[in-house]
Chains A and B, each alone.
Chain A
Amino acid sequence: MKTRDLMELASRNLREAMLRNTLTTLGIAVGVASLVAMLSLGIGLQKLLMGKLESSGLFNRVYVAPRNARNDNGGRGGRGGRGDGPLAPQPGEIKYLTTAVRQQFAALQNVTAVYPELRLTADLRYDDKGHVTAAASVPPEARGTGIFDTITGSFFSAANAAEAILQKELSQQLADEGKIQPKDLIGQMVTIRYPQRKPVPQEPGQRPEDFVANGEFGYGFTIVPTEVKVRIIGIVEGAQAGPGGFGGAPIMLPLEFVEQMHTVQGVDVREVVTSPGEQVYASLTIMLNSPNNVQAVEDKVKELGFTAFSLFDAAKSLQKVFKFIDLFLAIFGSLALAVASLGIVNTLVMAILERRHEIGVLKALGAADRDVRRLFFTEAGAMGFFGGALGVFFGWAIGRIINWGVSLYLTSQNISSEDVWFVPLWLVGFAILFSILVSLGAGLYPASRAAKLDPVKALRYE
């Protein structure tokens, strides 16, 4: 029998026992609604929490550190884990984060920025007093991460501006000494004294091979104290540093400005004896357009032979917990659907009893067992489809009501309202498909029983 004829006959059969089939379909709808409601609660909570975490900006970053083969021995891998890509360093070799590597990372797909973390020891001169403390570079992207949301003053006007943001503790110390309020520091110029690296010029008669390394800085470098003047433009409370993240130092300076300062980095000392002769970074932060792309980029970086780490790893464990919760909720939600599927079995078995004679007539007129089986399957599938669609609507409606209720409660408690219920489009499709599959599963036994009916006996049955 052709599909259209099958559908027409099935639809006629369903209409003929309208009340019973409607009740069965409603049973499925309740089952699907329970499944959708449970899953959308899990998804909604996950979305709410992950959204909060992602908006912090820490989840779309990959932190990269250089790697040497010696570090790999003995499994002292640390949090980031170690990649074992084909470009992994050979024993004795060190994979440096050079400018070329930085450009290579920047060229990777979905990468929006690559920046180093530059840290330096600085002597902040204010009111003729020195304050030896740490300074760190801050990239322009740090503005949107929420860390600087509570800033007094403003964020850097440009990536290369001679400006500084101070941590509250340092600003308090300076203000106490100057007998002013910390906010009065904003707008004032201060001097930062720091160690600068300067290339050693080539002496007449020196040849490159006379030195261990050569390159950008030629024949090594020397360290000289240097000063820059910066304007204090902001004070921030407790800016915490993530691994390779922003802030985390009493003095924060714009990234490009720090790069132009040519400060001595910790790696420089090692670089003198081992580096390829160009500038290397202690670490690099790769920023991506979406947390979804973190894994791919992290894998790629590991493949290139570097150590990579992302908070996405931590988020993955969180997602695993949510998957478990979703599964748990889905199992509970499915229980109602399982009960509803028994309703389908019952309805179809009743239909066989009622339509036994009719099945005999159909077979006498030329229906194959397969046609009868498909007819019952179509009826089960149709109940599954309508039950699923109705159930999704019920589930969605329940979610809306609960969202409204939660919102009302939170508002009454002076807390900003949040949607804890979320029905994604895939869940709509999944729930309807699942409902159809469960219904077809429930229709297996009745359909096969109907198909196997002996036509001679069925024709005798009145």
Chain B
Amino acid sequence: MIETPQAALRTAEVARHYQMGDATIRAVDGVSLEIAAGEFVALLGSSGSGKSTLLNLLAGLDRPSSGAIFAHGRNLSEMSGDELAKYRSLTVGMVFQSFNLLPRMTLEENVELPLRLAEVDRNVRSSRVREALERVGLSARLTHRPAELSGGEQQRASLARALVNRPTILLADEPTGNLDSRTGEEILNFIQQFNRELGMSVVMVTHEARLAERYAGRRFYLRDGKLSSNGDAQ
């Protein structure tokens, strides 16, 4: 199969099943979708619909039970553990609902962590960290620990960490879930800015249809692990 070069992500009948005793849970069940480079899409669905599982599959944190996932034409299923780690490090940036900053590290150290893992040269790390934190308006909080920051600031720091390795794809799992609506919008404005200015493809999992409609170019609805809408712009 020839891959369209502009597709940042494409899934082909991807499924993720779990075995619980005798029962098989079909968390993601035959999902096929395509996300173009530079596109902003939202994955919507109720709790347990499989949207976070799908996002984890796209992030290379989990492997599908069947089907295939292509990122810039490369099949994630065929990648070794190390290659998948490199994919998570260099191609994908992740933002989580609960921020997932390491509490014992300062903001600077938290944002530097992906650079350490990607073995980026020490000389350029500091400037890259400052640049990323500046972009989210936190350049004055380098030495603060996450607990000293508000929820919005923590999520902004988490955004800085996600883009410090200059990935092409940003995966956001309920990025506004723990924030009030005003701060949530502020975060989404940053994500939109990255999408537009840096050309990052964005896949955002959310259950807030209002925000999805406002920010995402296309929206995919999941129900019981299956796509219930083809994601056409509405």
A residues with a Cβ closer than 8 A to B are 1-2, 4-5, 9, 12, 16, 357-358, 360-371, 454-456, 459
Contact = CB atoms under 8 A, between A and B. Distances in A.
* Max count, chain B CB within 10 A of own CB: residue among A16, A364, A456: A364
A1 B82 contact: no
A9 B116 contact: yes
Contacts of B116: 1-2, 5, 9
Contact of A365 (B81, B88, B105): B88
B62 A459 contact: no
B165 A16 contact: no
Contacts of B100: 357, 360-361, 364, 459
Interface residues of B, number: 26
Contacts of A4: 122
B115 to A, nearest CB: 9
A363 B113 contact: no
Interface string B76-97: 0000011001101110001010
A371 B117 contact: yes
B62 A365 contact: no
Contacts of A456: 56, 61-62
B59 A365 contact: no
A16 B104 contact: yes
A371 B62 CA distance: 18
Given A5-B119, A365-B88, A369-B85, 5 more contacts: A5-B116, A9-B116, A362-B113, A363-B85, A459-B100
B61 A365 contact: no
Contacts of B85: 363, 366-369, 371
Contact of A366 (B81, B96, B118): B118
Contacts of B122: 4
B89 A366 contact: yes
A365 B96 contact: no
B82 A368 contact: yes
7 nearest A-B pairs in the assembled complex, by CB-CB distance: A366-B89, A368-B85, A366-B117, A5-B116, A366-B88, A365-B114, A455-B61
Nearest to B86: A366
Contacts of B89: 365-367
B198 interface: no
24 contacts: A1-B117, A4-B122, A5-B116, A5-B119, A360-B100, A361-B102, A363-B88, A364-B96, A364-B100, A365-B94, A365-B161, A366-B86, A366-B114, A366-B118, A366-B165, A367-B117, A368-B81, A368-B82, A368-B86, A454-B62, A455-B62, A456-B56, A456-B62, A459-B100
B61 A364 contact: yes
Nearest to A369: B81
A360 to B, nearest CB: 8
A365 B117 contact: yes
A244 to B, nearest CB: 69
A16 B100 CA distance: 18
Contacts of B81: 368-369
A369 B100 CA distance: 19
A363 B117 CA distance: 9
